[in-house]
């Protein structure tokens, strides 16, 4: 990573550094008995290619001549690092045209095929890693070899070694994506049957679930005949995990996500029974993504997904199930219960952050969440965990801004908005972390202007101009400039004062940073309020 950052700037010294590092990596690669150096050589070459592709393009021919020692290395971590170098090199070639490329692709192909004829597990595994990258990043080169490749993968699919089976499973979606029509016509049944069979094998099922999802994404409705068997395996996996109180495998949720994207209409038949099993696994990032994709592609399940997800989030944040606003069963969530929950930290910060983020990002259209923000979420602005406060701030700003309550004038609506805004503004000017202060102020969009322009809120907001962190002062002036028309009596004098202050500091300060910040501030004030 450090070397990658060093070579981002292109100058003579950068060229010399790259030449030195490449030569040293080649030396380490050629027979150095120290495996750490061989591994380091791959990591260095990959970092250089990713961060200085133009300068590294000239070394690709040499890389293709020397990398095979690492591709067939005894250590799997070195073989995988070598595959990453091949991937990065092939990606650089795809972005350029050269008559040399066909000979380079041929060299990679020949080395991969030669490795398959070896009796060494390491050579065979390295060859399959190489073929995976060649299929994905060699353009049309594979066209004439596609049938041969598919035959190779079919011949090796039942190999006795787990590593080989894993490499084959992970490449099947790449084969289907390369030429979907030929794949469906000639090979789909054999590969799909094979992948479904792997779902019952403990070591292979994780990769197989993921591979089925990505294969379905490339062939779309052609996967339909295999959906019943796939769903049966998904249900069996979730049920067994549920019974044993284990966390679900992320690949299962990934498979559901990809199937919903590929064949949402077909999957709708199974959606309701899948939902019960999925939600029974508890809140997790893969589950949220799967529910997002399901509800996006199968609109009929959105209401039930919303309801069940709000329950899960509410249990984490308030300790009780979610009750919609206006429900006859609705009672205010006691402030003390939320504060006790925060104080006791019954849930780890990752789960709390996930709950807050999901609340702010998921499609809860049709649900007014302002009451839940008012009664529960705002108290997480006082949590001692920085990542929790940041997520709470973003979620409060986003949901309140999008809620119709922002534009309502009833006493209840004004009380809710003012109370939430007060806590947001206090976080924006008084939180101990500068990034959270900036997060709050920069997310107070124009929907809040009518309320921010009120005298009390305006005074609190204006304290942001005293912040030591310039982005906070910058965000504050942008917000205040917005409502110069709605509250000119307060905003215009304030902006004139800040303009004079910035001009004075620009004239008399000797620090370049201060001059730069004040120049930017002057530009902001004049651009946003030309009538000054």
pLDDT in tens, 204-233: 999 999 999 999 999 999 999 999 999 999
Closest listed residue to residue 251, CA positions, set 236, 228, 268, 234: 234
- Concatenated DSSP letters for 483-519? TTTTSHHHHHHHHHHHHHHHHHHHHH---HHHHHHHH
The residue from 144, 178, 212 where one domain ends is: 178
- Measured between alpha carbons, how far is residue 211 from residues 8, 191, 195 in Å? 35, 10, 8
Q: Residue 37 in contact with residue 73, Cβ under 8 Å?
A: no
The residue from 126, 146, 178 where one domain ends is: 178
Pairwise CA distance, residues 391 & 92, whole Å:
38
- Residue 90 forms part of a structural domain: yes
506 in any annotated domain: no
Co-location of 152 and 3 in the same domain:
yes
pLDDT, residue 487, reads: 79
Asked if residue 6 and residue 155 are part of one domain, the reply reads: yes
pLDDT (tens digit, 9 = 90+) per residue, 239-289? 988 877 778 889 999 999 999 999 988 898 899 889 999 998 999 999 999
The residue ranges of the chain whose pLDDT is under 50 are none
Cβ neighbours of 137 (radius 10 Å): 20
- Name every residue whose Cβ is closer than 8 Å to that of residue 21 and which is 6 or more positions away in sequence: 3, 44, 48
CA distance 209 to 441: 43
| Helices 386-402 and 434-442, packing angle to 10 deg | 10
Q: Which secondary structure element, helix H or strand E, spans residue 63, and what is its range?
A: helix 60-66
pLDDT at 3: 63
| 418 domain residue, yes or no | yes
Angle, vertex CA 336, rays to CA 332 and CA 340, nearest 5 = 130
Contact present, 126 and 72 (Cβ < 8 Å): yes
Dist. CA 401–CA 360, nearest whole Å: 11
Residue 440 domain-assigned (yes or no): yes
The structural domain count of the chain equals 2
Q: How far apart, in whole angstroms, are the C-alpha atoms of residue 439 and residue 471?
A: 10
Under 8 Å between Cβ of 522 and 499: yes
Query: What pLDDT does residue 153 have?
Result: 97
Tokens of 202: 């403990």
In terms of residue numbers, what domain contains 161?
A: 1-178
The token duo for 92 is 């650089």
Query: Residue 25 is part of a domain; what is its CATH number?
Result: 1.25.10
Residue 106 CA to residue 181 CA, distance in Å, equals: 25
Is residue 517 a part of any domain in this protein? no
Q: Is residue 463 part of a domain?
A: no
Amino acid 332: pLDDT:
76
Position 342 in a domain = yes
Last residue of a domain, one of 393, 417, 449: 449
13 part of a folded domain: yes
What is the rounded CA–CA span in Å between residue 346 and residue 489? 48
């Amino acid at each position: 990573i450090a070397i990658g950052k060093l070579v981002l700037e292109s100058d003579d010294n950068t060229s010399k550094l790259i030449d030195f590092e490449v030569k040293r990596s080649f030396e380490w690669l050629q027979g150095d008995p120290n495996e750490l150096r061989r591994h380091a050589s791959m990591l260095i070459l990959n970092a250089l290619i990713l961060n200085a592709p133009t300068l590294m393009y000239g070394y690709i021919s040499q890389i293709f001549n020397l990398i095979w020692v690492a591709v067939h290395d005894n250590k799997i971590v070195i073989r995988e690092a070598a595959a990453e170098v091949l991937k990065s090199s092939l990606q650089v070639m795809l972005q350029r045209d050269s008559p040399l490329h066909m000979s380079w692709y041929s060299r990679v192909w020949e080395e991969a095929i030669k490795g398959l004829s070896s009796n060494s597990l390491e050579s065979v595994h390295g060859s399959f890693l190489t073929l995976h990258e060649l299929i994905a990043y060699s353009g049309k080169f594979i066209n004439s070899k596609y049938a041969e490749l598919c035959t190779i993968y079919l011949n090796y699919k039942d190999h006795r070694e787990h590593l080989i089976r894993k490499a084959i499973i992970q490449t099947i979606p790449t084969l289907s994506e390369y030429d979907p029509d030929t794949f469906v016509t000639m090979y789909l049944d054999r590969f799909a049957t094979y992948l479904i069979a792997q779902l019952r094998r403990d070591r292979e099922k994780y990769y197989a679930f993921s591979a089925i999802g990505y294969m379905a994404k490339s062939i779309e409705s052609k996967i339909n005949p295999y959906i019943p068997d796939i769903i049966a395996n998904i249900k069996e996996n979730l049920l067994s995990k549920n019974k044993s109180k284990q966390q679900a495998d992320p690949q299962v949720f990934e498979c559901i996500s990809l199937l919903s994207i590929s064949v949402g209409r077909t999957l709708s038949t199974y959606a309701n029974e899948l939902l019960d099993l999925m939600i029974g696994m508890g809140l997790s990032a893969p589950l949220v993504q799967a529910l997002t994709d399901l509800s996006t592609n199968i609109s009929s399940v959105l209401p039930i997904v919303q309801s069940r997800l709000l329950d899960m989030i509410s249990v984490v944040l308030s300790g009780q199930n979610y009750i919609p606003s206006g429900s006859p069963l609705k009672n205010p969530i006691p402030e003390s219960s939320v504060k006790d929950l925060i104080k006791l930290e019954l849930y780890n910060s990752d789960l709390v952050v996930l709950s807050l983020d999901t609340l702010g990002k998921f499609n809860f259209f049709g649900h007014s969440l302002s009451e839940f923000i008012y009664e529960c979420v705002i108290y997480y602005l006082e949590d001692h965990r920085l990542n929790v406060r940041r997520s709470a701030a973003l979620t409060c700003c986003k949901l309140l801004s999008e809620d119709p309550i922002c534009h309502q004038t009833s006493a209840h609506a004004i009380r809710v908005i003012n109370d939430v805004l007060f806590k947001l503004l206090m976080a924006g000017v008084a939180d101990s972390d500068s990034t959270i202060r900036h997060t709050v102020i920069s997310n107070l969009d124009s929907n809040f202007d009518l309320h921010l322009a009120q005298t009390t809120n305006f005074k609190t907001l204006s304290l942001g101009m005293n912040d030591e962190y310039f982005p906070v002062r910058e965000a504050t002036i942008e917000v205040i400039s917005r409502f110069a028309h709605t509250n000119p009596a307060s905003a215009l004098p304030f902006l004139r004062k800040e303009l004079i202050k910035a001009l004075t500091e620009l004239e008399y300060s000797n620090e370049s940073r201060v001059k730069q910040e004040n120049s930017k501030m002057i530009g902001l004030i004049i651009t946003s309020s030309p009538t000054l």
